[in-house]
Structure 1
Amino acid sequence: MSDPAPGHPAEPVSPVRLTEQAEPTQPAGPIRLAEPAGPGRDLAAMRLALAEAALAAAGGDVPIGAVVIGADGTVLGRGHNIREVAADPTGHAEIVALRAAATAVGEWRLTGATLVVTLEPCTMCAGALVLARVDRLVYGAIDEKAGAVGSLWDVVRDRRLNHRPEVITGVAAPDCTALLDTFFASRRTPRRPHSDDR
């Protein structure tokens, strides 16, 4: 378990407070997080991302969820992994959420937006959020195998790129990690004893 990011509580995730209630799918109308900008809003947005991640798991995909929040707290887009169900190698939660947000605002530049995701983005997703000009990235669990925001690579802080978002890590990390651990544990088959095992 990692320590929470400064200013972000390590408490278990509970239902999100919204000014309007919504299911963890693309809402019919705009939803605005009730919390003011800062750690409270980041945690509330992570609750939505965790709900999206649960949808991915229910569909047989790796449970990663993402939301894009506008500067005023409006949920601009949501997404969860759809690689398996859509047979789409780009069907990562972040890409789905960024596409939905760009559609909602009517352009590809997501200036002022925050991308909140349950797992550290990979190189594709880190590149996409930089290209979309997202101002802030908030993520929960570290991805030591494919993370591109400091674990293996650091795409978002590369000085050669023309945009570098603020990065907040560790928000609800224990909950994000537990969801992934449970998913992968359910897919592992017990190891059969081998004759050389003694």
Structure 2
Amino acid sequence: MTSQNPHIPFMQAALAVAEQALPQDVPVGAVLIKKGQIICQAHNRREIDHNPIGHAEILCLEMAGNTLKNWRLSSCTLYVTLEPCPMCLSAILQARIDTLVYGASDPVMGACGSAMNLLPSSGGPKVIQSILETESRAMLKTFFKDRR
């Protein structure tokens, strides 16, 4: 008997949310869970809302705070299809997210080690990378190929 990686179903949910951004916006999805339950989910809305901070992570954290009536999300896990940028990682750190799980690395803006490493040396979230990386990267490649 094989056991499935417990992160895969939540990353699949993040990918499904990312797809909702298409064709208008970069397909990045975020899902926040607490105690194994999805609390909220969001996708990029920068182009849709003409909002420079309309990243999936920011929107998801804002919804989570409103839903849980607490800005401290220390018992939560955030799943994101793309490695967070500096702005989003800062918000994740401020929210005290326990675990960050992402799919594709971002060699241009990734703040968890790909382009730069802005993770604190201690006290930050546990970071798990490359969950459904191929699927996350494929969606992004298709979006940018269609835009050119």
The bucket for the TM-score relative to the shorter chain is over 0.9
What is the RMSD of the two structures over their aligned residues, measured on CA atoms? 1.4
1:54 equivalent to 2:19? Answer yes
- Whether the 8 Å contact between 1:130 and 1:163 is mirrored in structure 2 is no
- Percent identity of the aligned residues? 43
| CA deviation after TM superposition for structure 1 residue 55, in Å | 0.5
Alpha-carbon displacement from aligned partner over 1:23-62 (angstroms, at most 9, x marks no partner):
xxxxxxxxxxxxxxxx32x11110110011101113x000
Q: Looking at CA atoms only, which structure, 1 or 2, has the larger radius of gyration?
A: 1
Aligned equivalent of 2:144 = 184
Counterparts of 1:11-30 in structure 2 under 5 Å? Answer: none
Amino acid at match of 1:65: G
| CA deviation after TM superposition for structure 1 residue 104, in Å | 1.1
What SS does the aligned partner of 1:152 have? Answer: coil
Amino acid at match of 1:46: M
Amino acid at match of 1:94: E
TM-score, L = length of structure 2: 0.94
Amino acid at match of 2:68: V
1:64 equivalent to 2:32? Answer no
| CA deviation after TM superposition for structure 1 residue 163, in Å | 3.3
Aligned equivalent of 2:96 = 133
1:155 and 1:115 mapped to 2: Cα distance?
A: 17
Amino acid at match of 1:86: D
- Greater strand share, structure number: 2
User: How many equivalent residue pairs?
Assistant: 146
1:82 and 1:133 mapped to 2: Cα distance?
A: 23
* Unpaired stretches in structure 2, ≥5 consecutive residues: none
2:48 and 2:140 mapped to 1: Cα distance?
A: 18
Aligned equivalent of 1:165 = 125
- Whether the 8 Å contact between 1:133 and 1:163 is mirrored in structure 2 is no
* Unpaired stretches in structure 1, ≥5 consecutive residues: 1-7, 10-38, 189-198
What SS does the aligned partner of 1:155 have? Answer: coil
1:120 equivalent to 2:83? Answer yes
TM-score, L = length of structure 1: 0.71
| CA deviation after TM superposition for structure 1 residue 155, in Å | 1.7
| CA deviation after TM superposition for structure 1 residue 119, in Å | 0.3
